[in-house]
Amino acid sequence: METKDIKTFSFKVLGSLYRAEKEEDCYLVQIKRKDESGTAEFKTALPFIDALFDIIHNYGLENIGKINGSELSIELDFNASDTGTKPGGGAANEIINIFSVIHRVYRPDYKDMTQRLKALTDGIPHFTANAANAAAIVFNTLEYINWAGFYFMENGKLVLNAFQGKPACIEIAVGRGVCGTAVAKDEIQLVYDVHKFPGHIACDPDSRSEIVIPIHKNGAVFGVLDIDAPYTYRFTEYDAEGLTDFVQEFERII
Ligand code: SME
């Protein structure tokens, strides 16, 4: 596929892109308009770059990406008037999905989020109120997400509990979906693309990526914290680490 074949591609060049310092786990991404009318540069975490390479490879677009040391530069053949995220080809949409998330380094302050949970729940003996506030903190702190909440174990199944977002599935069997898998394996599930996760349960069709963190009580799995995002590759190891701390704080109030 030649570069000209991707003219369905549209990319919103953001006015506030900035050149960031290089960091160990980040790449600098440079977007240069083919007509030389502008350049956009930004920094992103490794999983996003992996995603980008997957797309470049899957759609045979190798000719648009060049890697030079730790810098990846991509020349995109797009029409100057064709900005915004219009529906287009598969590659175009997937790239837009990723770029719209990574246009700036997004590193939520999980330490602060965890401290706020502690401050809000310390000494409060009402579990439902605490769980509801915890879900509200997550949903209102994190950007680029569409659902955040809890499922707790009841009679061997996960049952929906406090959450924010669209109405969701009420019961999930252990081993089913992303949540049930997190319980069965007792492991965090970091799902870059839910459409590629066998058995994913689609509660909200907007969800494209998901992270699920098991919650424990007395050594057994008590439930999960589930967060969905309407973009592929939204969550990274950074989120997994930050949310692990958050869940540990939550475990203190169970
Ligand atoms: N997607 C989840 C189901 C819960 S909703 O996302 C809120 C899963 O596959 O387990």
Q: Are 203 and 168 in contact (CB under 8 A)?
A: yes
Q: Comparing 50 with 156, which gets the higher pLDDT?
A: 156
CA of 174 from ligand 1 middle (Å) equals 12
pLDDT value of residue 57:
59
Residue whose Cα lies nearest atom 3 of ligand 1: it is 201
- State how many domains the chain has: 2
Is the same domain home to 146 and 38?
A: no
Is the same domain home to 82 and 166?
A: no
Residue 108 scores a pLDDT above 60: yes
Is 48's C-beta closer than 6 angstroms to any atom of ligand 1?
no
Is the same domain home to 170 and 96?
A: no
Return the ligand 1 atom nearest residue 207 CA: 6
**Main-chain phi, psi angles of 200, to 5 degrees:** -55, 135
String of DSSP letters for 113-177: HHHHHHHHHTT---HHHHHHHHHHHHHHHSSS-SEEEEEEEETTEEEEEEEEES---SEEETTSH
pLDDT bracket for residue 50 (50, 70, 90) = low
Which structural domain range is residue 80 located in?
Answer: 3-102
Q: Comparing 39 with 15, which gets the higher pLDDT?
A: 39
Q: Running DSSP on this structure, what letter comes out for residue 113?
A: H
Is the same domain home to 95 and 191?
A: no
Return the ligand 1 atom nearest residue 168 CA: 7
* Residue appearing with tokens 């349960």: 201
CA of 178 from ligand 1 middle (Å) equals 6
Residue 91 scores a pLDDT above 90: no
Residue 102 scores a pLDDT above 50: no
pLDDT value of residue 21:
32
- Arithmetic mean of pLDDT, 11-21: 29
CA of 108 from ligand 1 middle (Å) equals 22
Is 243's C-beta closer than 6 angstroms to any atom of ligand 1?
no
Q: Return mean pLDDT, the chain.
A: 73
pLDDT in tens, 175-192: 999 999 999 999 999 998
Q: Which of 193, 200, 208, 209 to mutate to test the pocket of ligand 1 (most atoms within 8 A of CB)?
A: 200
Is the same domain home to 95 and 182?
A: no
Looking at 23-37, 56-70, 74-88, which range is the least confident one?
74-88
pLDDT in tens, 141-177: 998 789 999 999 999 999 999 999 999 999 999 999 9
Is the same domain home to 231 and 194?
A: yes
pLDDT in tens, 195-237: 889 999 998 888 988 999 999 999 999 999 999 988 777 787 7
pLDDT value of residue 192:
81
pLDDT value of residue 230:
82
